[in-house]
């Protein structure tokens, strides 16, 4: 699978400041598809898998783009299914928000990833394989993110399903702690994905006010002369003088961006063995990053 619209990769960033996502690499406006249904169900079929069924669906699927440009359109439900693979959805399952009409705010919204659509034109019934969405969705669904409810089995009445065409990328904040760095030293952390899925370093979603990269010293001054972030590698070089400190400790905060099917990923240190590095995804307990590949979970529960 391929990552789409990862902001600010391959940049050399100034340390000590939050660096916003590069405007040159900001994602293009998301296209949202909207389906209307009179009723439906969300039934569990596995540990983390559901069958979403929409009944008496509208004969057409509406679509519109997010700001700054506003474009709207529509296509038949049959056409929507036929274009599923061509839009990349068969390879990168899109994110979606299921909004239930007339339900309390505490149980009216499920955030999902969708695959394997089926449409019966005679009965006007639509179905998907659905999984709970993990991490932060793309900008097209940002207005739903803060009020998402736990995914559970449902039997519902009128509902709207919003499907984001940029849903292949989700974000998680990561905190790296570096201990015992010496003057004139290069510290490297390499990133790779376990199968399935792909993952990359990122400064975060462009729509988040917290997007960026921040380096904070734990031992006074931070004599770092270079910090380079590419999709698979983060490299920090300390100054030759070390700012008068024997060794230094500091924290690096940024993001990881991954495809929705990712379960696990690897980090490894290419630093001197005397340098200790730990990594924490979100609010998880930090893990030591070894010089061999260290396995980390992506799908935080």
Tell me, what's the pLDDT at 286?
95
Rounded Cα gap, residues 207 and 188, in angstroms: 28
Does domain 11-25+169-297 fall under CATH 3.40.50? My reply is no
Tell me, what's the pLDDT at 192?
93
279, 176 Cβ separation under 8 angstroms? yes
DSSP 8-state code for residue 136? B
23, 7 Cβ separation under 8 angstroms? no
Tell me, what's the pLDDT at 67?
52
255, 21 Cβ separation under 8 angstroms? no
Strands of 159-164's sheet, edge to edge?
72-76, 60-65, 31-37, 159-164, 95-100, 109-120, 125-132, 49-55, 39-46, 154-156
Q: Average pLDDT for consecutive 10-residue bins of the chain (301 residues)?
A: 38 36 39 92 92 95 70 87 85 88 86 94 95 74 77 92 74 92 93 80 73 82 82 90 74 85 87 94 93 85 42
Tell me, what's the pLDDT at 244?
61
Rounded Cα gap, residues 8 and 227, in angstroms: 13
Tell me, what's the pLDDT at 196?
59
Rounded Cα gap, residues 299 and 176, in angstroms: 19
User: How far, CA to CA in Å, does 67 sit from each of 29, 95, 119?
Assistant: 6, 18, 30
Which residue in 295, 297, 294, 268 sits closest to 281, CA to CA? 297
129, 166 Cβ separation under 8 angstroms? no
| Cα 210–Cα 15–Cα 252 angle in degrees, nearest 5 | 60
Tell me, what's the pLDDT at 98?
95
- This prediction's pTM: 0.55
DSSP H helices, 151-287, are none
> What is the secondary structure of 32-88 as a DSSP string?
EEEEEESEEEEEEEETTEEEEEEES--SEEEEEE-SSS--EEEEEHHHHHHTTTTTT
Q: What three-state secondary structure class fits 194?
A: coil
């Amino acid at each position: 699978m391929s990552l789409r619209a990862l902001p600010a990769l391959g940049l050399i960033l100034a340390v000590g400041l939050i660096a916003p996502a590069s405007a040159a690499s900001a994602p293009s406006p998301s296209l949202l598809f909207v389906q209307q249904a009179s009723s439906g169900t969300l039934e569990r079929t596995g540990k983390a898998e559901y069958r979403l069924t929409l009944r008496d669906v509208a004969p057409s699927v509406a679509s519109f783009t997010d700001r700054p440009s506003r474009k709207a359109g529509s296509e038949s439900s049959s056409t929507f299914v036929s274009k599923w693979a061509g839009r990349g959805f068969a390879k990168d399952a899109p994110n979606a928000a299921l909004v239930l009409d007339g339900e309390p705010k505490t149980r009216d919204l499920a955030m999902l990833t969708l695959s394997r659509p089926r449409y019966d034109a005679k009965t006007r019934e639509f179905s998907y394989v659905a999984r709970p969405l993990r991490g932060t969705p793309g900008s097209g669904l940002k207005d739903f993110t803060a009020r998402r409810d736990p995914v559970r089995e449902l039997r519902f009445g009128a509902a709207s399903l919003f499907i984001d065409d940029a849903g292949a990328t989700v974000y998680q904040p990561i905190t790296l702690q570096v201990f015992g760095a010496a003057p004139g030293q290069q510290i490297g952390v390499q990133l790779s994905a376990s199968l399935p899925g792909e993952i990359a370093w990122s400064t975060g979603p462009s729509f988040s006010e917290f997007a960026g990269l921040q380096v904070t010293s734990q031992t006074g001054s931070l004599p770092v002369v270079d910090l380079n972030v590419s999709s698979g590698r983060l490299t920090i070089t300390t100054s030759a003088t070390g700012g008068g400190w024997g060794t230094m400790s500091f924290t690096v905060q940024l993001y990881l961006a991954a495809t929705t099917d990712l379960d696990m990923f690897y980090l490894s240190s290419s630093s001197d063995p005397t340098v200790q590095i730990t990594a924490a995804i979100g609010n998880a307990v930090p893990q030591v990053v070894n010089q061999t590949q260290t396995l980390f979970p992506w799908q935080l529960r």
